[in-house]
Amino acid sequence: METTLIILKPDAVQRGLIGAITSRFEQKGLQVVGMKLMRISQELAAEHYKDHAGKPFYAGLVRFMTSEPVVVLALRGMGAIGVCRNLMGATFGSKAAAGTIRGDFGISNSFNLVHGSDSPEAAARELALFFKQGEVLDGKRAIDQWVYDHSGGKPE
C-alpha cells in the first residue's frame, strides 16, 4: 500500500468543494488516513515548493497557497500516487479531461484546485512536512475486502 499527500488548494476550499473532491478519492477506494484544515505559512510554502524557487511563477504560487486555508489529506491505497494523479487530471483545468477533478471543477490555468505528490520520494517528503508523527493513522478497513481482490493471497 502506498500513502500520498493531496492538498485541496485555497480555490477548492473557498468554492466549497472539499466534500466533492474528497469523495472522488474515497469513491475510487482510497482510504483517508490523515486530514486537516490549515493555513500554510510562508516558511512551509517555501519548503514545500523549494524546487520551484527562482521560476517565474514561484512568488505567485506561494502567495496563492498562503492566501486562505487548505485541506491536506494523506490517502492510502494500492498505487495511490498514480491513482490520485489520474483522478486529478491535467494540470490546467482548461485542458483536463471531463471526469477528472480538474476537468469537472476547474477552468483556470492558474487555480487548479489540487496538489498531489508525484513520486514515492515526494510523497514521503511532503507527508512529513504537513503531518506530525502519529497524525497519519494505520489501520485496516472492513471494506478493503470489497475494494481489492484478495483471492490470490495478496490484494490486487
Question: Could you give the residue numbers annotated as active site?
Answer: 115
Name residue 58's amino acid.
Answer: Y
Half-sphere exposure of 23 (CA within 13 A, CB side): 5
**Polymer length of the chain:** 156
Q: How far is CA 30 from CA 3, 24, 27, 76, 129, in A?
A: 9, 9, 7, 6, 21
How many angstroms separate the CA atoms of 148 and 3, rounded? 16
Contact 3, 75 (CB under 8 A): yes
H or E element that contains 101: helix 101-105
What 3-state DSSP class applies to 32?
Answer: strand
DSSP state of 74: E
